[in-house]
Amino acid sequence: MRLPHRLFLIVLAGLVWLVGSYPLQARPADVVVPNAHQSRPQAQQSDEPLQVVTKVFEPFVIKDGDDFKGFSIDLWTEIVRRMGRQYEFIEVETVDDQLAAVAQGKADVAIAGITMTSEREHSVDFSYPYFKAGLQIMTRRERSLPFVNLMTVIFNPAMLEIVGIFFLIMLIAAHAVWLVERRNNPDFPQTYWRGIWEALWWSAVTVTTVGYGDKTPRGFAGRMLGLFWMFAGLFLIAHFTAGITALLTLQQWDSNISTEADLHGRRVATVQGSTSDDFLREQRISATRVESIEEAYDLLAKKRVHAIVYDAPVLLYYITTNNTDFQVTGEVFATEHYGIALPVDSPYREAINLHLLEIMEDGTYNLIYERWFGVTAE
């Protein structure tokens, strides 16, 4: 006897409901228990060497024939040794070229002295920071002859103005004493030119407190005038000395550039696309932008710029390794950190960070730092 069609559908629906509501249990062999090794993402293992894009950035990256050396190179060599990987260097000219190669997937890693910024983080990932740096100012060390410096002060327009006013006041005092003494004192002849000359001599030796005593007023009016002139001379000499001191200080300030504020109105050189370039733009300081730091050194040596603004470690290394008249001035400013750049979501980032922390903790970092900078890291 055949079941009615409607009854068949009801029975079928009931069977489906029973099967769907029955709890499924995984077999013990299907259960996966995470262990310590599986909990940490591992870098993809491959026989292909890592492509490392770098640029010359002394002392972090130094070209040595067909190879490279430097602080960043030694650090990277230790990291990749612990990773158990091989690598190949690709040399480029600028940091922008490094970042572009990484962002476009043409390189696995970029290292030199790459400053970590929020803007760059939009296109690449960074490792943990491995070096604290900042910007500093480099200028020429002036070695002018003392005679040249003296002539510069003497013929300064402001100095000539001070001397002119001082001489005019002495000339007025000379006329005053000559007028009251010329009739009764042979020390001040009655003829104008000779009398004024002798009076001017008296005025000069009196106001400078030398007082030779070869010429002295004899009348009451002349002596009162002389007494007044002696006291006035104290204030005049003090004012004259203060003026000269101010000029010397101003000249010294004009030849020194030691802070960011001193850069305004000066000819400044920096490397295009660097963080020092960004800093100068933010501070609205006009600058000559060049492709390499070597070009900036050349401009400073030829006195075409007053100063260079760039990464402090690079400037210090150049001075210590070259016979140059350059100097770094002032304190380090605009603190920044260097990091290793990688493509976004790079499979190597976790391993690089892990080994970087190990290197910093076990003392290896300090050994590398001292090798290149002569002191231990702070």
The residue-averaged pLDDT of 263-281 equals 92
What are the angstrom distances between the C-alpha of 376 and each of 120, 136, 179, 372? Answer: 29, 21, 78, 10
What pLDDT shows up at residue 146? 59
pLDDT band at 29 (very low <50, low <70, confident <90, very high): very low
Domains 50-130+339-373 and 133-337 fall in the same CATH topology: yes
Interaxial angle between packed helices 192-207 and 157-181, expressed in degrees from 0 to 180 and rounded to the nearest 10: 120
Give me the pLDDT at residue 375, please: 73
Q: How confident is the model at residue 40 (pLDDT cuts 50, 70, 90)?
A: very low
Query: Using N-to-C axis directions, what is the helix angle for 364-373 and 71-83, rounded to 10°?
Result: 160
CATH of 50-130+339-373, one of 3.40.50.1980, 3.20.20.70, 1.10.287.610, 3.40.190.10: 3.40.190.10
Q: Of 25-34, 89-98, 286-295, which gets the smallest average pLDDT? A: 25-34
Nearest one of 311, 265, 305 to 289, comparing CA atoms = 305
Which tens digit of pLDDT belongs to each residue from 158-192?
Answer: 778 888 888 898 899 889 888 988 888 888 888 89
Output the pLDDT for position 233: 79
- Which amino acid, residue 260? E
Q: Is the pLDDT of residue 31 over 60?
A: no
pLDDT tier at 32 (50, 70, 90 boundaries)? very low
Q: Judge whether residue 64 has pLDDT over 70.
A: yes
Contact 285, 334 (CB under 8 A): no
What is the pLDDT averaged over residues 265-281?
A: 93
Supply the CATH classification number for the domain 133-337.
3.40.190.10
pLDDT of residue 3: 46
8-state DSSP, 130: -
pTM here is: 0.57
DSSP 287-354: -EEESSHHHHHHHHHTTS-SEEEEEHHHHHHHHHHS--SEEEEEEEEEEEEE--EE-TT-TTHHHHHH
CA distance linking residue 275 with residue 135, whole number of Å: 9
Q: For the chain, what are the domain ranges?
A: 50-130+339-373, 133-337
What pLDDT is stored for residue 188 in this prediction?
A: 87
**pLDDT 10s digits, 313-339:** 999 889 888 878 899 988 889 999 999
- Top pLDDT among 215 and 257 is at 257
If pLDDT is split at 50, 70 and 90, which confidence band does 145 have?
A: low
